[in-house]
Amino acid sequence: MIYLSAIVVVGFALAPFMWVILSGFLPEVAILTVPPEWFRSGLIVDNYRYILTGEIPRAHEVGGQLRRMISEEVRHVPRAALNSSVVAGAVLLLNWLLGVPAAYAYARLRFPGRVATFYFITVSRLIPAVALAIPYFLIVQRLGLLDRHFALILIHTALTIPFTVLILVLYFRSIPVEIEESAQLDGASRWAILRKVMLPLALPSLVGAGLFAFMLSYSEFLFALLVTTSEYSRTLPVTLSSVASNPDVSWSLLSAGTTLAVLPALILVWPIWRYMVRGLVSGSLN
């Protein structure tokens, strides 16, 4: 009974992944035939070769100019994945740089306005993103930062830092104060304590919170759509949905592109589990 429900749940979670991965290795014709003949013509790597090298899949060469033109957009996927990684990487670094000291201060120091600013930071995430979309667009446009990753990095940092602060505050507070006190007696400054005592202890949740920010930024769509306008600066979610919204797009090519796009998630899901969710679930934060 347990196993049956476990299989059903895992099946539901993984089915779309399996279909996308499979169809990325199929020729277009195997999918479009009615009824489909998915396994009749065997597996091919043409779709991936096209995305990475530009060599047109055999099945497409007979296709008209239009199809080739449309499919070309898929070739931006690796570039878009790179853009997304650069933006998300910068967001991760900024989250560490700004979020770690802030979390430490909220967890350990007393100062006026602590509760108020803490609430402000966490509650800021309850503002629906769509409500901010147009102002962001107009502001970024006026600053002349449209199509620059810089603007997107700042926006994503503002969106992710509340989570980083919240996660790290919970973690810092679970570290006994006594550990710090001996360092305090030795005359270490707060910054030194943070760097030499707290950070090594908090390393797992630092990794977890950082990966969380990375994934949120990597996945963010609405603001990326607004801020990155040219196909060279677009991030992955924007490029993929733009390819997908094209009614004539070849599904097998799109699948190959999507598979490449979710690859980081497939790789990162284990460390995210290991460093963040498991800590949450096993109650180490309580």
Partner 1 sequence: MPEQGVQAAGVRLDPVHPPRQLERDQPTAFIMIGGAVAIVAVFTLYPVGYALIGSLYNLSPILPRSFAGLMNFSHIFGSQYFGFALKTTAVFALLTVPAIVVLGLLVALLLDRRFRGDGFVKVAILLPWTIPAATGGVMWKGVFADSWGALNGTLYQLGLIREYISWLTDPTLAVAATTVAQVWAQFPLAAVLLLAAMQAIPDELYEAAAIDGASGLRRFAAVTFPHIRPMLIVVILFELLLALTAFDLIFAMTGGGPGTATTVLSYFIWSESFKMLSFGRGMALAVIIAGMAVILIAGLLRFMPRGALLEEVPR
Residue nearer to partner 1 on the CB measure, 55 or 242: 242
For partner 1, the closer CB: 13 or 55:
13
Q: How many other C-beta atoms are found inside a 10 Å radius of the C-beta of residue 50?
A: 22
**Alpha-helix runs per DSSP H in 197-250:** 199-219, 222-227, 236-244
Does residue 208 belong to the site contacting partner 1 (CB under 8 A)? Answer: no
| Complex with partner 1: residue 16 or 232, whichever CB lies closer | 16
Q: Which 100-119 residues touch partner 1, going by CB under 8 A?
A: 101-102, 104-107, 109-112, 114-115, 117-119
Question: According to the binding rule CB under 8 A, does residue 170 interact with partner 1?
Answer: yes
d(C-alpha 216, C-alpha 212), whole Å: 6
Q: How far is the C-alpha of 235 from the C-alpha of 227, rounded, in Å?
A: 10
**Nearest-CA neighbor of 201 among 181, 173, 165?**
173
Residue ranges in 58-97 that form contacts with partner 1 under rule CB under 8 A: 97
Give the one residue of 146, 154, 175, 207 binding partner 1; rule: CB under 8 A.
Answer: 154
Nearer to partner 1, 199 or 272 (CB): 272
Q: Which of 86, 175, 188, 197 binds partner 1 (CB under 8 A)?
A: 188
40 binds partner 1 (CB under 8 A): no
- Min. distance of Cβ 249 from partner 1 in angstroms? 10
Q: How many residues bind partner 1 (CB under 8 A)?
A: 109
The yes or no reply on residue 230 touching partner 1 (CB under 8 A) is no
Q: Which of 218, 227, 228, 234 binds partner 1 (CB under 8 A)?
A: 218
Question: What is the C-alpha to C-alpha distance for residues 38 and 35, in angstroms, rounded to an integer?
Answer: 9
Residue 143 binding partner 1, by CB under 8 A: no
What's the distance, Cα to Cα, between the start and end of the chain in Å?
A: 32
Tell me if 240 contacts partner 1 by CB under 8 A.
yes
Residue 17 lies near partner 1 (rule: CB under 8 A) = yes
Residue 241 touching partner 1 (CB under 8 A): yes
Are 149 and 228 in contact by the 8 Å Cβ rule? The answer is yes
Closest by alpha carbon to 241, among 261, 227, 268? 261
43 binds partner 1 (CB under 8 A): no
Which runs of consecutive H residues, i.e. helices, occur in the chain? 2-24, 28-32, 46-53, 65-72, 77-108, 114-123, 129-142, 149-174, 177-185, 190-193, 199-219, 222-227, 236-244, 251-272, 278-281
In angstroms, give the least distance from the CB of 69 to partner 1.
Answer: 20
For residue 279, the minimal CB distance to partner 1 (Å) is 9
- We find the least distance from the C-beta atom of residue 235 to partner 1, in angstroms, to be 9
Residues 6+ apart with CB under 8 A from 243: 73, 74, 77, 249, 254, 257
Cβ distance to partner 1 smaller for residue 169 or 202: 169
